[in-house]
Amino acid sequence: MRVLRAGPTSYGLWAALVQALALAALLACFSAGVASARALKLVVLGDSLTAGLGVPPGKAFPDQLQAALRAKGLDVSVVNAGVSGDTAEDGLTRYGWSVPPETDALIVELGANDMLRGFPPDMTKKTLAAILDKAKAAKTPILLAGMKAAPNLGPEYGRAFESIYPELAKSYGAILYPFFLEGVAGDPKLDQPDGLHPTTAGVGVIVQRILPSVEELLGRVSH
């Protein structure tokens, strides 16, 4: 019986095949690594305080927050989904296109205009809860930025309005930043002439104060 033996040519072909398979596996791993290393997408759903009313282009809260995160080595793209004048209901209405499915984390900064218009706190709370429901359904980590009521609305209204944020944060397991304008509100050096909106420097103060909470938020993103 004649026994077939593999010659040098056969071994050469086999070695080439093994090398090709190994290269293909390496490229697959590299591609997967690139895909997983994409920048995280953080959306800020808010009103004029997010939109950047009265500050130069590129100096709004989302812009300065993105710069601060990247300075710390975090590859995060912060999306400005703020619209001046928006109430919580307005934010809910445009949620579908403002917070796309690929959103990794969400900051909700809404309710100030509800308060300024004297809306019943229960109504604002219900609307914000509907926004949080949508984020929770998408398993999107949430940071809820709180707001304080203007003193002229009275202590009863103030207590009811300001309790919205901690109660919702507790109910939804969201990270609470109690007062978005902490360290800025009432400071003429950091406020614009209207006394409501921060200057560029004021936005910078907000970013530095909220940064640890945002880092905690990003830590909740599933990789």
pLDDT in tens, 147-173: 999 999 999 999 999 999 999 999 999
Of 75 and 38, the one with more pLDDT = 75
At 38 the pLDDT is: 76
How far is the C-alpha of 179 from the C-alpha of 147, rounded, in Å?
Answer: 5
At 222 the pLDDT is: 85
pLDDT digits 0-9 by tens, 101-116:
999 999 999 999 999 9
Going by C-alpha positions, the residue among 52, 59, 146, 45 that lies closest to residue 89 is 45
At 19 the pLDDT is: 57
pTM, full prediction: 0.83
pLDDT digits 0-9 by tens, 9-47:
554 544 554 454 444 444 444 343 433 467 999 999 999
Contacts of residue 5, defined as CB under 8 A and 6 or more positions apart, other chains included, come to none
Average pLDDT, the chain: 89
How far is the C-alpha of 197 from the C-alpha of 52, rounded, in Å?
Answer: 9
Upper half-sphere CA count for residue 16 (Cβ side, 13 Å) = 6
Residues carrying an active site annotation? 48, 194, 197
Domain 38-219 bears CATH identifier 3.40.50.1110: yes
Q: In the chain, where are the structural domains located? A: 1-37, 38-219
Confidence of residue 134 (pLDDT cuts 50, 70, 90): very high
At 215 the pLDDT is: 98
